[in-house]
């Protein structure tokens, strides 16, 4: 199933989501990002939703547009950030601030040494963190991509992709 087919399978309750889906997957609709960054953020967002139909559809759509290494690193970003988002969301929300000072004792080597461009990896991590709602991780990845020169418009595009993909997954389920 292609992206157009996904849009077609969305009910009338998701008319705006369907329009947004077609828009965000283009460089015109996601300014400040390269085509490859759009694809990587799209895939990270899809994996984060866990929607099997959506995952299979987007993997088919992106076949040949991302390398096996890039796809593997996106899977790494989603796996890592899912763990970190739970941990750091707890640290942020816990009333006892002693947890902030405690070592995590969690392996996170892939974040510092991804097998793809560091900025692209960080953008994927930002999308996952936005979907999972972790303020500490959002702030950490925002800081990294901003230091690397990603514009606010590019960052906004990442978040729009994540938001739309999350909404597509929900709309498909209902």
Supply the CATH number for residue 92's domain. 1.20.1290.10
119 touches 154 (CB < 8 A): no
Point out the catalytic residue in the list 33, 38, 134, 168. Answer: 134
Looking at the structure of the chain, the number of domains it has is: 1
Between the CA of residue 112 and those of 48, 81, 85, 115, 117, what are the distances in Å?
21, 13, 17, 10, 11
Q: Which residues, 6 or more positions from 44, have their beta carbon under 8 angstroms from its beta carbon?
A: 74, 77, 78, 124, 125, 127, 128
Point out the catalytic residue in the list 10, 111, 137, 165. Answer: 137
pLDDT in tens, 86-126: 999 999 999 999 999 999 999 998 888 888 899 999 999 99
In this prediction, residue 137 has a pLDDT band, given cuts at 50, 70 and 90, of very high
The model carries a pTM of 0.94
Active site residue 134: yes
173 touches 117 (CB < 8 A): no
Active site residue 137: yes
Which domain does 150 fall in, by range? 3-173
Q: So what's the pLDDT on residue 109?
A: 85
Q: What is the mean pLDDT of residues 13-39?
A: 94
């Amino acid at each position: 199933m292609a992206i157009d087919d996904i849009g077609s399978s969305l009910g009338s309750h998701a008319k705006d989501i369907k329009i947004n889906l077609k828009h965000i997957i283009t460089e015109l609709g996601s300014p400040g990002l390269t085509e490859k960054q759009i694809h990587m953020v799209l895939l990270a967002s899809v994996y984060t939703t866990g929607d099997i139909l959506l995952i299979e559809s987007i993997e088919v759509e992106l076949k040949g547009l991302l390398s096996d290494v890039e796809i593997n690193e996106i899977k790494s970003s989603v796996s890592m950030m899912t763990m970190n988002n739970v941990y750091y969301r707890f640290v942020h929300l816990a009333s006892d601030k002693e947890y902030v000072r405690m070592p995590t004792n969690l392996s996170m080597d892939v974040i510092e040494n991804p097998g793809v461009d560091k900025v692209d990896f960080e953008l994927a991590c930002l999308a996952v963190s936005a979907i999972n709602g972790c303020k500490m991780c959002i702030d950490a990845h925002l800081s990294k991509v901003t230091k690397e020169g990603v514009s606010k418009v590019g960052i906004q595009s990442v978040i729009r992709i994540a938001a739309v993909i999350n909404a597509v997954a929900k709309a498909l389920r209902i």
